[in-house]
Structure 1
Amino acid sequence: MTKPFGAESTTDDVLAGVYLAGKRILVTGVSAGLGVETARALAAHGAAVVGAARYLGKAHAATRSVRAAAAEGGGSLELVELDLASLASVRSCADGLIADGRPFDVIICNAGVMATPQGKTADGFETQLGTNHLGHFVLVNRIASLLKPGGRLVNLSSAGHRYSDVDLDDPNFERTPYAEFVAYGRSKTANVLFAVEFDRRHKASGIRATAVHPGGIKTELSRHMTQAATEALIRSINEAQQAAGQPPFTYKTIPQGAATSVWAAVVAAADEVGGHYCEDCHVAAIEDAEGIRGGVRPYALDPDRASALWAKSEEMVGERF
């Protein structure tokens, strides 16, 4: 067992005494928030970080702290362009990484959107499922050959997965009334199920996959939410917390929010986290009660559901992996 950490642990706490020289790690979404902090912490401990972002200009400005940490800690940072809402961009990014040929020790699928108005990606997918799941599904599978034996995939999910299971019959809300958080919940459940099936397919070669919930953090992710919607969400979380005998909700800092990502990526034992859902730097318990609270809903870890989502995702993107 690894050293116990918790909800208040930061990236620096988790990585204390860890040196990542020789490790190459891909992190998506490095233009703000958790992605920047994840990249900074890894580079500060010697890792060669490849940061992917939709807008390279924004990412270049946002990652000044990453480059400074890399210079001091012996790591490095390079940026690649990736728009997860466009499969043409995803495939172009993957093709570039394959052509480059350098392997990865870890892929951290950090980028995402939350509670967006109803819309579609460039390929006609519902925005949140298309961006959060299908874009990463294509990217990761196209570059899977670059993952070293012993490598890991870390998918950022959310306690928001508790809003909804995936809907394999109507993934794009063509017959279902659209609701922002139901769509978000579907996409975050998909992130967990993708990790479960990827782990099943690759663990024999020593590659493991896990999903993590970073916690509630004030970042650009919530930019589509009004103040009233945010307050209503926190009220509902506190009701669920009270029902479970847990303390009220508190926001995490960004370094606390990114801690579970780096813990699952380079600190926790592979067998401890592989095929699981993690929160607060530990593997979460299965918790089927309603409401947004700690724990993981059983449907998000269902291996049959994971296999079915994989097949549906292949059908939607027009590629088999």
Structure 2
Amino acid sequence: MSGQFGAASTTDEVLASLDLSGQRVLVTGASAGLGVETARALAARGAHVVGAVRDLAKAERATAEVRTQTANGGGLELVELDLASLASVRACAEALLAKGETFDVIIANAGVMAAPFGHTTDGFETQFGTNHLGHFVLINRLAPLLKAGSRVVALSSAGHRFANVDLDDPNFETTEYTPFGAYGRSKTANALFAVEFDRRHRERGVRATAVHPGGIQTELSRHMSQADLDALIAQLEAAGPAGFQMKTIPQGAATSVWAGFVAPADAVGGRYCEDCHVAPVKEGDVSVRDGVRPYAIDPANAAALWAKSEEMVGETF
């Protein structure tokens, strides 16, 4: 399953043999970086992509090239979504539910990284609230639009190794805040969401998986100074026997489309993937950059996070 593609594979290589005509895909964060590339690669193979974005005007500019590459009946439409506002999340979901058009794949791509301490509109710590809780409500509300054979792909990160979730203090009310500690919590939450969503929906043929796209320099690093970014890259380059190489954006988006359209559903459902394969489980400190930490795919941890998330958003799924 994993031998054909790897860390250097691109979206076009992964999808080369596929005709996605007639498939509908929701991609959050389709206004920059990985989201735009994901939308382009899918629409170029016939998929109808719904890009959920915070800034519609920015997204229209960013996706102009996507529209020129659509083929085989593919297309792109944009809808407004601010993951840092549950009112916006619910309005987006309600509008899509009202249309009643099903999705074959949802790719939860949008997010923030290493943001300074702050809160979402609803008072949640910014990274946990945006990266996890916003997607938690959106995807659960859209679950009726996922038919048998559909998949959810949640973008996690190797950054999950920085921290497990803290269900006693998710908003850093008593814990010292660090940008990467908060990022780590949110990315662990993304992985755990996939585990529990997959458990809840696999009997009806809907699967979920989490992916690490790799190290890619995109707008995601906008909260980091160049010195901080250089230091992080140096740390990553020093980690692991094979070292580290930054990926291009097409390489970074490859694992998302691989997990969503190419890999066998039973192989990736409830799992964590990287470099177009299912990642091994690895213990270790933050210097061990590859693989997935046990706490990020632990079913009991996933169930506890789900319950806490329902409590926080005031909604039961």
Instruction: Give TM class, smaller chain.
Output: over 0.9
Q: CA deviation at 1:236?
A: 2.3
Deviations along 1:139-176, one digit per CA (max 9) or x if unpaired, are: 00001000011100000000000000000000000000
Correspondence for 1:201: 200
Instruction: Work out whether residues 80 and 93 of structure 1, in 8 Å CA contact, stay in contact via their aligned partners in 2.
Output: yes
Instruction: Work out whether residues 163 and 291 of structure 1, in 8 Å CA contact, stay in contact via their aligned partners in 2.
Output: yes
Does residue 320 (structure 1) correspond to residue 311 (structure 2)? The answer is no
Does residue 235 (structure 1) correspond to residue 231 (structure 2)? The answer is no
Q: CA deviation at 1:73?
A: 4.1
Instruction: Work out whether residues 35 and 111 of structure 1, in 8 Å CA contact, stay in contact via their aligned partners in 2.
Output: yes
Instruction: Work out whether residues 29 and 54 of structure 1, in 8 Å CA contact, stay in contact via their aligned partners in 2.
Output: yes
Q: CA deviation at 1:251?
A: 0.8
Correspondence for 1:297: 293
Alignment partner for residue 253 of structure 2, among 249, 255, 258? 258
Correspondence for 2:63: 63
Q: Give the Cα separation in 1 of the matches to 2:31 and 2:233.
A: 26
Correspondence for 2:271: 276
Amino acid corresponding to residue 223 of structure 1 in structure 2: R
Deviations along 1:225-272, one digit per CA (max 9) or x if unpaired, are: 01121122123223332xxxx222211000000000000001111001
Does residue 133 (structure 1) correspond to residue 127 (structure 2)? The answer is no
Correspondence for 2:223: 224
Correspondence for 1:189: 188
Q: Give the Cα separation in 2 of the matches to 1:126 and 1:211.
A: 22
Q: CA deviation at 1:39?
A: 0.4
What secondary structure, in the 3-state scheme, does the structure 2 residue paired with 1:153 have?
strand
Instruction: Work out whether residues 2 and 276 of structure 2, in 8 Å CA contact, stay in contact via their aligned partners in 1.
Output: no
Instruction: Work out whether residues 25 and 48 of structure 1, in 8 Å CA contact, stay in contact via their aligned partners in 2.
Output: yes
Instruction: Work out whether residues 105 and 148 of structure 1, in 8 Å CA contact, stay in contact via their aligned partners in 2.
Output: yes
Correspondence for 1:94: 93
Q: Give the Cα separation in 2 of the matches to 1:151 and 1:47.
A: 14
Deviations along 1:173-196, one digit per CA (max 9) or x if unpaired, are: 000010000000000000000000
Q: Give the Cα separation in 2 of the matches to 1:2 and 1:216.
A: 20
Q: Which moved more, 1:224-233 or 1:254-263?
A: 224-233
Correspondence for 2:303: 307
Two-structure CA RMSD over aligned residues (Å): 0.9
Instruction: Work out whether residues 2 and 267 of structure 1, in 8 Å CA contact, stay in contact via their aligned partners in 2.
Output: no
Correspondence for 2:111: 112
Instruction: Work out whether residues 214 and 279 of structure 1, in 8 Å CA contact, stay in contact via their aligned partners in 2.
Output: yes
Amino acid corresponding to residue 37 of structure 1 in structure 2: E
Q: Which runs of 5+ in 2 are unaligned?
A: none
Deviations along 1:107-149, one digit per CA (max 9) or x if unpaired, are: 0000000000000000000000000000000000001000011
Q: CA deviation at 1:2?
A: 6.4
Instruction: Work out whether residues 237 and 245 of structure 2, in 8 Å CA contact, stay in contact via their aligned partners in 1.
Output: no
What secondary structure, in the 3-state scheme, does the structure 2 residue paired with 1:256 have?
helix
Amino acid corresponding to residue 253 of structure 1 in structure 2: T
Q: Give the Cα separation in 2 of the matches to 1:83 and 1:257.
A: 23
Q: Give the Cα separation in 2 of the matches to 1:309 and 1:93.
A: 24
What secondary structure, in the 3-state scheme, does the structure 1 residue paired with 2:90 have?
helix
Amino acid corresponding to residue 119 of structure 2 in structure 1: K
What secondary structure, in the 3-state scheme, does the structure 2 residue paired with 1:50 have?
strand
Instruction: Work out whether residues 168 and 309 of structure 1, in 8 Å CA contact, stay in contact via their aligned partners in 2.
Output: yes
Q: CA deviation at 1:3?
A: 5.8
* TM-score, normalised relative to structure 1: 0.97
What percentage of residue pairs aligned between the two structures are identical? 70
Q: Give the Cα separation in 2 of the matches to 1:148 and 1:38.
A: 21
What secondary structure, in the 3-state scheme, does the structure 2 residue paired with 1:138 have?
helix
Q: Which runs of 5+ in 1 are unaligned?
A: none
Does residue 149 (structure 1) correspond to residue 144 (structure 2)? The answer is no
Q: CA deviation at 1:68?
A: 1.0
Q: Give the Cα separation in 2 of the matches to 1:40 and 1:226.
A: 29
